[in-house]
Amino acid sequence: MSTRGKRNKIQICECGESISEEVWKWVIDDSQKALEKEPAMQGLLRDVCLSRSCLAEAIVARLARKLSRRDMSREDLEPVIREALNANPCIIECMARDLVAIADRDPACHSPLEPLLFFKGFHAISTYRIAHWLWQQKRYMLALQFQSVSSEVFGVDIHPAAQIGSGILLDHATGFVVGETAIIRNNVSILHEVTLGGTGKEDGARHPIVESGVLIGAGAKILGRVTIGECAKIAACSVVLNDVAPHTTVAGVPATVVGSAAFTPALDMNQELCP
Amino acid sequence: MSTRGKRNKIQICECGESISEEVWKWVIDDSQKALEKEPAMQGLLRDVCLSRSCLAEAIVARLARKLSRRDMSREDLEPVIREALNANPCIIECMARDLVAIADRDPACHSPLEPLLFFKGFHAISTYRIAHWLWQQKRYMLALQFQSVSSEVFGVDIHPAAQIGSGILLDHATGFVVGETAIIRNNVSILHEVTLGGTGKEDGARHPIVESGVLIGAGAKILGRVTIGECAKIAACSVVLNDVAPHTTVAGVPATVVGSAAFTPALDMNQELCP
Amino acid sequence: MSTRGKRNKIQICECGESISEEVWKWVIDDSQKALEKEPAMQGLLRDVCLSRSCLAEAIVARLARKLSRRDMSREDLEPVIREALNANPCIIECMARDLVAIADRDPACHSPLEPLLFFKGFHAISTYRIAHWLWQQKRYMLALQFQSVSSEVFGVDIHPAAQIGSGILLDHATGFVVGETAIIRNNVSILHEVTLGGTGKEDGARHPIVESGVLIGAGAKILGRVTIGECAKIAACSVVLNDVAPHTTVAGVPATVVGSAAFTPALDMNQELCP
Amino acid sequence: MSTRGKRNKIQICECGESISEEVWKWVIDDSQKALEKEPAMQGLLRDVCLSRSCLAEAIVARLARKLSRRDMSREDLEPVIREALNANPCIIECMARDLVAIADRDPACHSPLEPLLFFKGFHAISTYRIAHWLWQQKRYMLALQFQSVSSEVFGVDIHPAAQIGSGILLDHATGFVVGETAIIRNNVSILHEVTLGGTGKEDGARHPIVESGVLIGAGAKILGRVTIGECAKIAACSVVLNDVAPHTTVAGVPATVVGSAAFTPALDMNQELCP
Amino acid sequence: MSTRGKRNKIQICECGESISEEVWKWVIDDSQKALEKEPAMQGLLRDVCLSRSCLAEAIVARLARKLSRRDMSREDLEPVIREALNANPCIIECMARDLVAIADRDPACHSPLEPLLFFKGFHAISTYRIAHWLWQQKRYMLALQFQSVSSEVFGVDIHPAAQIGSGILLDHATGFVVGETAIIRNNVSILHEVTLGGTGKEDGARHPIVESGVLIGAGAKILGRVTIGECAKIAACSVVLNDVAPHTTVAGVPATVVGSAAFTPALDMNQELCP
Amino acid sequence: MSTRGKRNKIQICECGESISEEVWKWVIDDSQKALEKEPAMQGLLRDVCLSRSCLAEAIVARLARKLSRRDMSREDLEPVIREALNANPCIIECMARDLVAIADRDPACHSPLEPLLFFKGFHAISTYRIAHWLWQQKRYMLALQFQSVSSEVFGVDIHPAAQIGSGILLDHATGFVVGETAIIRNNVSILHEVTLGGTGKEDGARHPIVESGVLIGAGAKILGRVTIGECAKIAACSVVLNDVAPHTTVAGVPATVVGSAAFTPALDMNQELCP
What's the angle, vertex CA C53, arms to CA C52 and CA C56, rounded to 5? 85
For chain C positions 67-86, those within 8 Å of chain B (CB to CB) are 68, 74
* pLDDT over 70 (residue A125): yes
Question: d(Cα E266, Cα E166) in Å, to the nearest integer?
Answer: 13
Q: What are the φ/ψ torsions at residue A79 (nearest 5 degrees)? A: -60, -35
Cβ-defined contact of E270 to F152 (cutoff 8 Å): no
Least confident of D266-275, E242-251, F86-95, F126-135: D266-275
Cβ-defined contact of E37 to F219 (cutoff 8 Å): no
Question: d(Cα A1, Cα A5) in Å, to the nearest integer?
Answer: 7
**pLDDT of A271:** 77
Cβ-defined contact of A76 to F43 (cutoff 8 Å): yes
* pLDDT over 60 (residue E10): no
Average pLDDT value for residue range F52-57: 95
**pLDDT of F44:** 94
A141: nearest CB among B41, B108, B154:
B41
pLDDT, tens only, A77-87? 999 999 999 99
Q: Which of C187, C153, C198, C159 minimizes the C-alpha distance to C173?
A: C153
Does the CB of A165 have a partner CB in chain B at under 8 Å?
no
Residues in chain C with CB shorter than 8 Å from the CB of A40 are 76, 80, 139, 142
Chains contacting chain D through 3 or more C-beta pairs under 8 A: A, B, C, E, F
* Cis previous bond, B254, omega within 30: yes
Among chain E residues, CA nearest to A45: E40
Beta bridge partners of F250: F234, F257
**pLDDT of E17:** 59
* pLDDT over 50 (residue E135): yes
Q: What single letter denotes the amino acid at residue D79?
A: P
**CB C216 within 8 Å of CB C185:** no
* pLDDT over 50 (residue B13): no
Question: d(Cα E227, Cα E221) in Å, to the nearest integer?
Answer: 13
pTM (two decimals) = 0.91
**pLDDT of F7:** 41
Residues in chain A with CB shorter than 8 Å from the CB of E40 are 42
To probe the interface with C, which of F73, F77, F78, F145 has the most C CB atoms within 10 Å? F73
For chain E positions 94-133, those within 8 Å of chain F (CB to CB) are 105, 107-108, 114, 117-120
**CB B99 within 8 Å of CB B116:** yes
**pLDDT of D13:** 39
Residues in chain A with CB shorter than 8 Å from the CB of F74 are 74
To probe the interface with A, which of F41, F57, F75 has the most A CB atoms within 10 Å? F75
**pLDDT of F10:** 40
Does the CB of B5 have a partner CB in chain D at under 8 Å?
no
Average pLDDT value for residue range E122-139: 98
**CB C102 within 8 Å of CB C88:** no
Q: Which helix (H) or strand (E) holds A165?
A: none
Query: E187-217 in b/e burial notation, b at 16+ Cβ within 10 A?
Result: bbbbbbbbbbbbbeeebeebbbbbbbbbbbb
**CB D69 within 8 Å of CB D153:** yes
Question: d(Cα F11, Cα F22) in Å, to the nearest integer?
Answer: 10
pLDDT, tens only, E33-50? 999 998 889 999 999 999
* pLDDT over 70 (residue A275): no
Beta bridge partners of A209: A183, A227
Q: What are the φ/ψ torsions at residue D214 (nearest 5 degrees)? A: -80, 145
**pLDDT of E200:** 73
For chain B positions 167-196, those within 8 Å of chain E (CB to CB) are none
Beta bridge partners of B163: B183
Question: d(Cα A56, Cα A170) in Å, to the nearest integer?
Answer: 20
Question: Above pLDDT 70, what percent of chain F?
Answer: 92
pLDDT band at F261 (very low <50, low <70, confident <90, very high): confident
pLDDT, tens only, E151-165? 999 999 999 999 999
pLDDT band at B7 (very low <50, low <70, confident <90, very high): very low
Q: Which of D208, D222, D235, D160 minimizes the C-alpha distance to F219?
A: D222
Average pLDDT value for residue range F232-247: 96
* pLDDT over 70 (residue E14): no
pLDDT, tens only, A161-216? 999 999 999 999 999 999 999 999 999 999 999 999 998 767 789 999 999 999 99
Helix, strand, coil % in chain C, rounded to nearest 5: 45, 15, 45
pLDDT, tens only, A134-144? 999 999 999 99
* pLDDT over 50 (residue E172): yes
pLDDT, tens only, C169-180? 999 999 999 999
**pLDDT of B35:** 93
pLDDT band at C17 (very low <50, low <70, confident <90, very high): low
Residues in chain B with CB shorter than 8 Å from the CB of D82 are 51
**pLDDT of B134:** 98
pLDDT band at B5 (very low <50, low <70, confident <90, very high): very low
pLDDT, tens only, C50-65? 999 999 999 999 999 9
Question: d(Cα A211, Cα E194) in Å, to the nearest integer?
Answer: 75
Average pLDDT value for residue range E44-73: 94
* pLDDT over 90 (residue D124): yes
Chains contacting chain E through 3 or more C-beta pairs under 8 A: A, B, C, D, F
Q: What single letter denotes the amino acid at residue B96?
A: A
For chain D positions 219-238, those within 8 Å of chain E (CB to CB) are 219, 235-238
Q: How far is F46 from chain D (nearest CA, A)?
A: 12
Average pLDDT value for residue range E241-263: 92
Stronger pLDDT, A210 or C275, i.e. the higher one: A210
Does the CB of F41 have a partner CB in chain D at under 8 Å?
yes
D74: nearest CB among B50, B51, B74:
B74
Give how far Cα B174 sits from Cα of A172, A183, C59, C175, Å. 14, 22, 27, 9
Q: How far is F147 from chain B (nearest CA, A)?
A: 29
A74: nearest CB among F50, F74, F79:
F74
Among chain C residues, CA nearest to D46: C40
* pLDDT over 80 (residue C9): no
**pLDDT of E11:** 40
Stronger pLDDT, B273 or E123, i.e. the higher one: E123
**pLDDT of C35:** 93
Residues in chain D with CB shorter than 8 Å from the CB of E219 are 219, 237
To probe the interface with A, which of F41, F44, F46 has the most A CB atoms within 10 Å? F46
Size of the A and E interface in Cβ pairs below 8 Å: 7
What is the value of ipTM here, to two decimals? 0.91
Residues in chain D with CB shorter than 8 Å from the CB of C43 are 43
Question: d(Cα A176, Cα A218) in Å, to the nearest integer?
Answer: 10
Coil/strand/helix, residue C248: strand
Among chain E residues, CA nearest to F206: E107
Q: Across chain D, what does the average pLDDT equal? A: 91
Give how far Cα F79 sits from Cα of A47, D194, E175, Å. 6, 39, 32
Chains contacting chain B through 3 or more C-beta pairs under 8 A: A, C, D, E, F
To probe the interface with C, which of B141, B174, B207 has the most C CB atoms within 10 Å? B141
What's the angle, vertex CA B177, arms to CA C100 and CA C26, rounded to 5? 20
To probe the interface with B, which of D75, D81, D82, D142 has the most B CB atoms within 10 Å? D75
